[in-house]
Structures are given as C-alpha cells and as structure tokens.
Amino acid sequence: MKTKNIEIAKSNGSLFARLEVPANGKVRHYAIFAHCFTCNSNLSVVRYISRTLTNHGFGVVRFDFTGLGRSSGEFADSNFSGNVEDLITVANYLEKEYQAPAMLIGHSLGGAAVLAAAAHLDSVKAMVTIGAPAEVDHVTHLFADGLEEIEETGSAEVNIGGRPFRIKKQFVEDLRSRNLLETINGLKVPYLIMHSPQDTTVAIENAAKLYHAAFHPKSFISLDGADHLLTNKVDAVYVADMIGTWAGKYFPELDQELISTKGEQVVVHLDLENKFTSEVFTPHHTLIADEPNAVGGDDLGPSPYELLNAALGACTVMTLKMYAQRKGWDLREVFCYVTYSKKHADDLPQEQDSDVVGQIDHIQKTLEFIGDLDDKQRERLKQIASKCPVHKTLTSTTIIDTKLL
C-alpha cells in the first residue's frame, strides 16, 4: 500500500486528505471514507478500513471535514450540509485527477453524510455505513446540555468526547431540516449497514430504520460487542475485512498483478506513512508484516521474527510429513511450536558449543505428534526435524549480500 497526502481546494479553503492505493499501484475502483462527528481521518478504524480495502484493489481517500484535523476552516462555521458538500468536493477531485468514486463509506454522522452525498453522485455503485443515525438531528443529544443556550444566544461551547467545540444555531437548524430516510428511499445502489447492538451513542434501532427505508440489495452485519467508535482493534479489523468481502460481490476482483519481485523470490514494500506495516510479495502470494503496538506498530500482521519462526515451523512440519509418509508411519498431525529469544550462553544446555560466550540468538522448537507412534519413531522424527532445509540454513554459515538498485 502506498499513501499520498493531498490538499483539495474548495471555495473557502482546502480539505486535507490521504489517498491510499495498492502497493502495485493498480487501482480498480476508488472509494471515499467519511469519518465520524468531531473525529478526523487518522482515527484507527478509518486507517484499518482504508488499508484493508487497498488489498482488494481499491484506492481510498480518507479526509478531514472542514474545521477538523488538518482541513482549513472553523468547526463552528460548519454544518451537516457543509459535510455533504465536502464529500462531493472530494468526489469531484477524484473524478478530475484519477477516477470518479465507486463506493462511499461513512462512520456515524459521516455515514449520514455519505447517504446524502450519494444522491448527487452518479458514479457511486455501493455504500457502507457504520453506526450511522437514521435521523441526522439525532446527533444533538451529544450536546443536549447546551441546546438551550444555543437557542437563546445563537451558540454555545459544548463538550463532545472530552473536547470543547463551539456549536452554532445554524448547525442545529441544518440538522433538523434534513430527512435522511426520504433520501435513502431514492437511492438504488447496494447498501451495507453495520451497527453494534451495544452502541450507546447511536442506538441499534437506527440500523433497523435505515434497513427498512433502503431498497434491495441491502445487507446488515451486526458488530456484536463493539462500541460506537470501534476502539477495540479486533472490531475495527473485523469491520474492514467484512467491507472488503462484501465489496467483492459488487466489484469482482480481477486477476491482480502483484508488485513485481524483479526476478527475486520475495519483495517487501513499506510506505513510511504507515508506521511499520509492510506488504510481502512473492510471485503468486502476498501477506502483511508489522510490529506490535508496544514498539510503535499497528500489529496488523506477524512481526519479522514471527515470520522467521513461521518459516522454520512450516519447513519442519512439511519435512516430517514427507518422511513419515515415506516410512508408512501413522503420523496424522504434527504441531511445531517455535519461540525466538536472546539467551546467555551459560543458560544453554551443556552440549552446546563451549566456545560461545555472552548473549546469543536462541530458537526453541517444540514438537507435538498426533498418531500411533512408538518411542523409537517419535525420537527419529525429532532427529529429522533438525534436518529440514530452513533449520539447516539457520544453523549454518549464511552470507547475506546487499546491493542497491
């Protein structure tokens, strides 16, 4: 995946956005992600969904609404109609510079904006909303304590999600003037509704109203156990995967040309905008590598040492399968548990090389056999496990030659 920061001009300022495309640069369709009320485009769920969709061939624009994040303007001067206009501005930019958006995705009030904007964009072939309200003025309950002051004085500073925002009367009036269900009734494109039954910000009843108002084909996915902002990473990744799978129905994947390995066995690509999330390509396969959250990663895939352990474990079990089959032994399953660590030479078994001193790399490989095997067979399989090609490579002198293209 590649990320590009872009600035989209509009009549009274500009919108900050990030365009994310597959690592091979091959974009089949473009999508726009609209974030939740008072949030910004760097929210974790927005990042996860955008990056997952690039694996399905989508180019995704995630942007900050006016007055939020890195976009210009004052939030107090914005309103729901302005959010819809921002979406249309981004869509027009995509159409001019790349390709008109085929899918719109919106979270919370961003979902409502997506539905309103879709009515003005003929290029949209599918829509997704996550935790979206069925009536846009539903959002006023977030600042209910300040409504009286807003009505009397024209504005009030309210606390939303622990942050102060100034809300003006025109914002409230604009919300009240919108009939979202009537808008949905005029849309005739595939629509995916995602909502948590435990959502305490936008109740699940909103999803029922949206579903009832929409035309088929429409789908609903329950985000059981998730909160409104999908703060649990497991929920965010689940949403991302489900959207990618659902979109495949309406945007069938073509034979994707993977990023070229330039004649080598593997190429690993990292865009520095994405912390440590890296894409690993072979001539026919792809996977994600990452680092844990504890060291600054997004934990979207195995770490480099976990991949190293995986290579050793995979080679070990494959080698054991071939040997047992050749011998005609009753080995039905084999598990190989692998852990890498640094250990002091004094803590290792005495049979290790006595010349080794200080801290050294140590890999613990533990085998579990399922089948009718006697002790002699089990011991022989243990010996064979040390003869797999990757094991031999790791325990031999290996030269790594690095060059520049």
Domain contains 390: yes
| pLDDT, tens digit (0-9, with 9 covering 90-100), for 89-135 | 999 999 999 999 999 999 988 898 999 999 999 999 999 999 998 88
Compute the distance between CA of residue 277 and CA of residue 62 in angstroms, rounded to an integer. 18
Domain contains 270: no
Name the residue with higher pLDDT: 255 or 183.
183
**Percent of the chain scored above 90 by pLDDT?**
42
Domain count, the chain: 2
**Percent of the chain scored above 70 by pLDDT?**
92
Tell me: do 6 and 117 sit in the same domain: yes
Tell me: do 95 and 162 sit in the same domain: yes
What is the structure's pLDDT at 257? 56
Tell me: do 235 and 344 sit in the same domain: no
pLDDT band for position 357 (cuts 50, 70, 90): low
Give 389-392 contacts, CB < 8 A, sequence gap 24+: 389/315, 389/319, 390/311, 390/312, 390/314, 390/315, 390/316, 391/312, 391/315, 391/316, 391/365
Name the residue with higher pLDDT: 219 or 70.
219
How confident is the model over 332-337, as a mean pLDDT?
Answer: 94
Tell me: do 193 and 67 sit in the same domain: yes
Name the residue with higher pLDDT: 241 or 165.
241
| pLDDT, tens digit (0-9, with 9 covering 90-100), for 7-63 | 999 888 899 999 998 876 778 899 999 988 878 788 878 888 888 888 788 899 999
Residue 355's domain spans which residues?
304-394
Name the residue with higher pLDDT: 206 or 359.
206
Domain contains 189: yes
Domain contains 346: yes
Domain contains 380: yes
Tell me: do 235 and 316 sit in the same domain: no
Domain contains 266: no
Tell me: do 244 and 356 sit in the same domain: no
What is the structure's pLDDT at 218? 94
254 pLDDT above the threshold of 50: no
Domain contains 403: no
Tell me: do 176 and 107 sit in the same domain: yes
How confident is the model over 150-168, as a mean pLDDT?
Answer: 72
Cα–Cα distances (Å) from 252 to 58, 194, 362, 363, in that order, read 11, 21, 46, 43
pTM value? 0.67
Tell me: do 310 and 246 sit in the same domain: no
Tell me: do 364 and 234 sit in the same domain: no
Compute the distance between CA of residue 269 and CA of residue 279 in angstroms, rounded to an integer. 5
CATH number at residue 208: 3.40.50.1820
Name the residue with higher pLDDT: 342 or 226.
226
**Final residue in a domain of this structure, among 250, 283, 314:** 250
CATH number at residue 345: 3.30.300.20
Name the residue with higher pLDDT: 23 or 394.
394
Tell me: do 40 and 103 sit in the same domain: yes
Compute the distance between CA of residue 279 and CA of residue 180 in angstroms, rounded to an integer. 40
Is the separation of the CB atoms in 244 and 260 below 8 Å?
no
Cα–Cα distances (Å) from 2 to 275, 323, 338, in that order, read 12, 43, 33
Tell me: do 34 and 161 sit in the same domain: yes
Tell me: do 245 and 325 sit in the same domain: no
